[in-house]
């Protein structure tokens, strides 16, 4: 628990560079497929959702906890705000927008909070009382959750090309059946 | 299908840099957890398995196809070779070893094969006849499959810290129950 905020920020700082490395300039046939066939998200949807988190969620909620504790609940998080907002931007532009917002938010976080604040509480509109520590850990795991959706979509884009090897590729089998076990 | 090998190599070239960005110098409490609790792989196991692929699988099999077609089956792939081989190496050392091997193999691939070879066939010891195109597509999707295991392990390392938000984090819920749907 020593330097929890520093360690969490270290991971959060990596995500924009990771998205650049994975996606920058990649041909569209790798990036136009959703993570799952039904109501899934393409890489651009995922990056848009991460942008929404930077605009409205993580640091806003940190500030809410520090200013109001549990007295004023967090605003709800609109999980689909990206759909209307990002239609004209390229995937590379979305990644760079996310990178700018993430850098700004990590700078704000380092000014707002220290590890002594981690047990301070806020009020989630659905989940009830939560701590700042839980909010910041969730920020990091939320990155991991959604970036792995991008991997599933990219794999899915080449589902038809792996031939019989699909039987060994859990990332493809699980798009059709979440309980599938690779051979 | 124009420049299939070039596009596939473009993705394969990104994986070492991606692993560096994600893992280099990261505190061990993010990297010592397996993707699933039962018989899962930690990030170092995943990188070790990717090293085995570079040492014994992808380009060796490419060469086998080009030299022998279906007449000589591929050697079997030892999915657990890393367990005995990599015990003394740090995670950062494993990533750098993988990066060297991947660069060498992409150089070998570009000398060995062109898109005119993609329909040539080889013999997989279990799956039967496969094409060079299927082998190369599988190489790339195999990267995506295993790197996403690293994300699941990293998320799992902070499972206890997200508190009630776990209900919204599919990457954590699926470690316990593959059919879980995030709220």
ipTM computed for the complex: 0.95
Q: Identify the CA nearest to B106 among candidates B131, B136, B145, B86.
A: B136
Is B27 in Cβ contact with A7 (below 8 Å)?
A: yes
Task: Quick: pLDDT tens for A9-45.
Answer: 999 999 999 999 999 999 999 999 999 999 999 999 9
Task: Quick: pLDDT tens for A122-173.
Answer: 999 999 999 999 999 999 999 999 999 999 999 999 999 999 999 999 999 9
Residue A2 scores a pLDDT above 80: no
Residue B81: band (very low, low, confident or very high) from pLDDT cuts 50, 70, 90: confident
Mean pLDDT, all residues of chain B: 95
Q: Give the pLDDT mean for B81-99.
A: 92
- Distance between CA atoms of A160 and B122, rounded to whole angstroms? 18
A168: its two tokens: 């060994």
SS3 call for A122: strand
Query: A173-177, A178-182, B156-160: which range is least confident on average?
Result: A178-182
Residue B80: band (very low, low, confident or very high) from pLDDT cuts 50, 70, 90: confident
Q: Which residues pair with B122 in a beta bridge?
A: B130
Residue B144 scores a pLDDT above 50: yes
Q: What is the model's pLDDT at position B1?
A: 46
Cβ within 8 Å of B, A 136-155: 137-138, 140-142, 144-145, 147-148, 151-152, 154-155
The answer, for B36 touching chain A at a CB cutoff of 8 Å, is no
Among the partner residues A133, A167, A169, nearest to B141 by beta-carbon distance? A169
Q: Beta-carbon neighbour count of residue B88 at 10 Å? A: 6
Residue A1: band (very low, low, confident or very high) from pLDDT cuts 50, 70, 90: very low
Helix boundaries (H) for chain B: 4-23, 43-52, 58-68, 81-85, 91-112, 132-156, 170-176
Cβ neighbours for B46, distance < 8 A, ≥ 6 positions apart: B35, B146, B147, B149, B150, B153
Q: Identify the CA nearest to B159 among candidates A165, A40, A138, A98.
A: A138
pTM across the whole model: 0.95
- Distance between CA atoms of A20 and B59, rounded to whole angstroms? 27
- Distance between CA atoms of A7 and A12, rounded to whole angstroms? 9
Task: Quick: pLDDT tens for A41-77.
Answer: 999 999 999 999 999 999 999 999 999 999 999 999 8
| Inter-CA distances, A43 with A19, A156, A183, B48, B98, Å | 10, 12, 27, 27, 26
- Distance between CA atoms of A10 and A120, rounded to whole angstroms? 22
- Distance between CA atoms of A49 and A135, rounded to whole angstroms? 17
- Distance between CA atoms of B152 and A144, rounded to whole angstroms? 7
Best probe of the A interface among B9, B144, B165, by most A CBs < 10 A, is B144
Q: What is the model's pLDDT at position A93?
A: 97
Q: Which residue of A has its CA nearest to B180?
A: A178
Is B141 in Cβ contact with A162 (below 8 Å)?
A: yes
- Distance between CA atoms of B7 and A161, rounded to whole angstroms? 13
Q: Identify the CA nearest to B44 among candidates B145, B149, B157.
A: B149
| Inter-CA distances, B181 with A146, B42, B166, Å | 14, 24, 11
Are the beta carbons of B148 and A121 closer than 8 angstroms?
Answer: no
Q: Identify the CA nearest to B58 among candidates B6, B126, B124, B153.
A: B124
Residue whose pair of structure tokens reads 């979509």 in the numeric block: A153
Cβ neighbours for B55, distance < 8 A, ≥ 6 positions apart: B81, B101
């Amino acid at each position: 628990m020593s330097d929890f905020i520093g360690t969490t920020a270290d991971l959060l700082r990596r995500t924009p560079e990771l998205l650049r490395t994975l996606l920058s300039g990649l041909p569209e046939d790798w990036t136009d497929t959703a993570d799952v066939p039904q109501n899934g998200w393409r890489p651009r949807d995922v990056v848009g959702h991460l942008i929404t988190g930077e605009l409205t969620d993580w640091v806003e909620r940190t500030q809410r906890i520090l200013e109001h504790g549990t007295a004023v609940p967090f605003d709800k998080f609109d999980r689909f705000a990206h759909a209307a907002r990002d239609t004209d931007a390229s995937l590379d532009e979305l990644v760079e927008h996310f990178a700018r917002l993430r850098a700004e938010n990590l700078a704000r976080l380092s000014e707002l909070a220290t590890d002594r604040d981690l047990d301070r509480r806020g009020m989630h509109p659905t989940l009830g009382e939560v701590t700042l520590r839980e909010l910041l850990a969730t920020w990091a795991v939320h990155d991991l959750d959604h970036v792995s959706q991008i991997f599933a979509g990219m794999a899915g884009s080449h589902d038809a090309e792996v031939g019989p090897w699909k039987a060994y590729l859990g990332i493809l089998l699980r798009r059709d059946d979440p309980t599938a076990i690779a051979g």
